[in-house]
Amino acid sequence: MEISRLQKIISGSGLLSRRKADLLIKQGRVTLNGRRALIGEKADPKSDRILVDGKDLPKKKNHKVFLLNKPHGIISTCQDNHGRKTILSLIPFDLRPGLHPIGRLDSDSRGAILLTNHGELTLRLTHPSYSHTKTYMVWVNGQPNQSILNNWRKGLLIDGKMTMPATIEVIEIINNKTLLKVILKEGRNRQIRRIASLLGHPVQDLQRIAISNIKLNGLKEGKWRELKTKEWISLLD
């Protein structure tokens, strides 16, 4: 028997976090063996039937999530027809099956990228409706004034569609280049580079330092680490 609290069983399935599971139980959206589940109840996932919003829990899968600090020149795909080095090649061969990158970083950009075999996590981090942030440190040519930065913050028209509001902070100015901290809630193709060029301050260097609450925190370029479940489970809320 593997009797555990319902919140732990639900979060262990990879469906959502314990905090979110607790909320759904309170809202009456979880049933245990055909009746409304109660806070604090325990169950055996092998013999008890647990439904969330009328659906069975997904079968437990060994979900893997890796944080990689991508160097320049690496392609953010699983394979490349031109023989270029991909991010998957930086992960040991025995850990690669089923992994795919969540989103992309241009080959000439560097920094944080996640790889996983978790489909729902991929959706949550790539779909703009979930509003997960991505944080970048960006060196641009010149010294953009406040008017230019405010236009960037409010949003600009790219490919016929306005970009979402962004957080832009000036970190440092050296000679004739500026370091900006840019926080986005979307990730269109080469978005930062295109906007910076449009505003007359092309990007010299771009590094993503965080994806939502997951930060590089000293992880060296070209290196990776496997995230603990508690580090990424809240991203499913």
pLDDT tens by residue, 92-113: 999 988 889 998 899 999 999 9
Q: Is residue 145 pLDDT above 90, yes or no?
A: yes
Which position among 22, 44, 53, 106 bears the catalytic label?
Answer: 106
Q: Please, are residues 113 and 102 in contact by the beta-carbon 8 Å criterion?
A: yes
pLDDT at site 87:
92
Q: List, for residues 116-141, the tens digit of each pLDDT value.
A: 988 788 888 887 777 789 999 999 99
Question: Please, what sign has the CA dihedral across residues 25, 28, 29, 33?
Answer: positive
Instruction: List pLDDT tens digits, range 2-14.
Output: 788 888 888 777 6
pLDDT computed for residue 83 by the predictor? 80
Query: Top-level CATH class of 65-128+220-236?
Result: alpha beta
Residues of the chain with CATH 3.30.70.580: 65-128+220-236
Comma-separated ranges of CATH 3.10.290.10 domains in the chain: 4-56
Q: CATH fold of 4-56, please?
A: 3.10.290
The fold adopted by the segment(s) 133-211 is: Alpha-Beta Plaits (3.30.70)
pLDDT for 60 beyond 80: no
Lowest pLDDT segment from 50-59, 135-144, 204-213: 50-59
Q: Where in the chain is the domain with CATH 3.30.70.1560?
A: 133-211
* pLDDT per position as a tens digit, 174-208: 999 999 999 999 888 889 999 999 999 999 999 99
**80 noted as active-site residue:** no
Quote the mean pLDDT of the chain. 89
Using H for helix, E for strand and C for coil, what is the string for 200-215? CCCEEEEEEEEECCEE
